[in-house]
Structures are given as structure tokens and as C-alpha cells.
Amino acid sequence: MEINDSYRHRGMRKALVRTLKGKGITQPDVLKAIGKVPRHVFFENAFLEHAYQDKAFPIGEGQTISQPYTVAFQTELLDVKPQDKVLEIGTGSGYQCCVLCEMGARVYTIEYNKVLYERTRKFLPEMGYRATFVHGDGSRGIPSYAPYDKIIVTAGAPTVPTALLDQLKPGGCLVIPVGNDRMQKMLRLTRQGEKQIKREAFDNFSFVPLLGKFGWQK
Ligand code: SAM
């Protein structure tokens, strides 16, 4: 696929990176990755001016491409290192997955919605991004590929699924928004040993619901 990434698009991306810095995102690797991923290719031409605004946007199937600030915030908490094995729950458009790939992570990403799964698993390789795409209930994780260095959940959960903590390597962390259907607190849970989990709480966000066995029932 030929990506039309013009001078104008790159300029809009630089402006987005400045906006994110202004909102407190500091990790150079995160800002660099966001400065590289062509977010406009996830948008139809008619909505181009929305592509580099710091806003979530509908992607069909009642779902959204996350706000760039949210993607940056979660990625910063995840503290991604090159070659980290990262599980993303909620593939959606694939934008977050591209950011993780740009940072050198080996990404496993799972999506519950079959239409979005089919669309994204074809689209991302066409863009040049390689990941392992899985269709299914990510609230259970993907035990067959576990353990992971990092797990990121991009939908709002009612509680922390124990199944996800069980799939973390020692020293690994899970970043997950937890709360009710309107607002969730961003949590980072770090596995410090066999049993010990360190819990940190950050800002409030508003995500679409995590469905499935350890999410909200449909
Ligand atoms: N990471 C996405 C991106 O970069 O565009 C944004 C994700 S969107 C805010 C949340 C996604 O989580 C939706 O695509 C939704 O279908 C998916 N989802 C909800 N529950 C899920 C589950 N149990 N397993 C996997 N995906 C789930």
C-alpha cells in the first residue's frame, strides 16, 4: 500500500507531538513513535482535519480510535523497551499497536469484534506493521502466548482481571483503566514476585467498555 504521507501530514503530526508535550507527555520514545505513525490513514479523506486533533474518533462498529493523549499516557506508563513482548487488549483501529511496533515491541493484539479484527489484521501489515492478531475475548488474555513483559488494556474494565496478572512475567506490568461505565481510573499493576503486586493509580479517563468473561456482560 502506497501511503500518502505529505509535508502537510508531517507538519500536523509535529503539531500533535507539541500538544502532547504541552499536556505533560515527556518520554522521548513515546513522542518519537507518535511523530512517526501516520494517524491520518485511519481516517476517510473527508475527516482528515480530525486525524491530528487530540480527540478520539469513531471507527465504526460503535468503537473509537483512542485520543492520542490517552495512547501516549498509557504507552508512557507501560515503559516499553525494544523487544518487549506486549499484549494489547482491544486492537480496534490498530493505531496503538502501530505506536508499540514503532517502539520496537513484539506485539500480540486481541480484538473481540470480528469486523474490526478482520479489518485491522489486513490493514496493519499493508502499512508495514507486523504483529500477531487474535480474535477473541481479551479479558482472559491470550494464555497460549503468555507470559508477557507488558499488558495494555484499551477498554474500560469493571475490575482487574486476575487472568491478566497471571500472564505477566516477574517485573512485568499491566496498564488498565478500571471503573464504571462513565469513568475509569488508570491503574498500573506491577508483578514484583510470585504473589506480590504493586498497584499505582493515575488520572481518570473514559473508555468504551471491556466486554467478555472478566469485563462487562453484553
Ligand atoms: N487500541 C485501539 C486503537 O488504537 O484504536 C482503541 C481501542 S477501542 C477504545 C476499544 C476496543 O476494545 C474496541 O475495538 C472493542 O471492540 C475492544 N474490546 C472490548 N472488549 C474486548 C475484549 N474482551 N477483548 C478484546 N477486545 C475488546
**Domains detected in the chain:** 7-205 (3.40.50.150)
Closest ligand 1 atom to Cα of 155:
10
**pLDDT tens digits for range 34-87:** 999 999 999 888 888 899 999 999 988 888 899 999 999 999 999 999 999 999
- Is the pTM of the predicted complex or chain greater than 0.95? yes
How many percent of the chain have pLDDT more than 70?
100
For the record, the C-alpha cell of 19 comes out as: 500538544
Task: Report the atom number in ligand 1 closest to the C-alpha of 109.
Answer: 25
Pocket lining: 133 vs ligand 1, CB cutoff 6 Å: no
Asked whether residue 6 carries a pLDDT value surpassing 80, the answer given is yes
Q: Whose CA is nearest to atom 19 of ligand 1?
A: 210
Cβ–ligand 1 distance for 179 under 6 Å, the answer no
Residue of 6, 66, 139, 144 marked catalytic: 66
Q: Compute how many other C-beta atoms are within 10 angstroms of the C-beta atom of residue 115.
A: 11
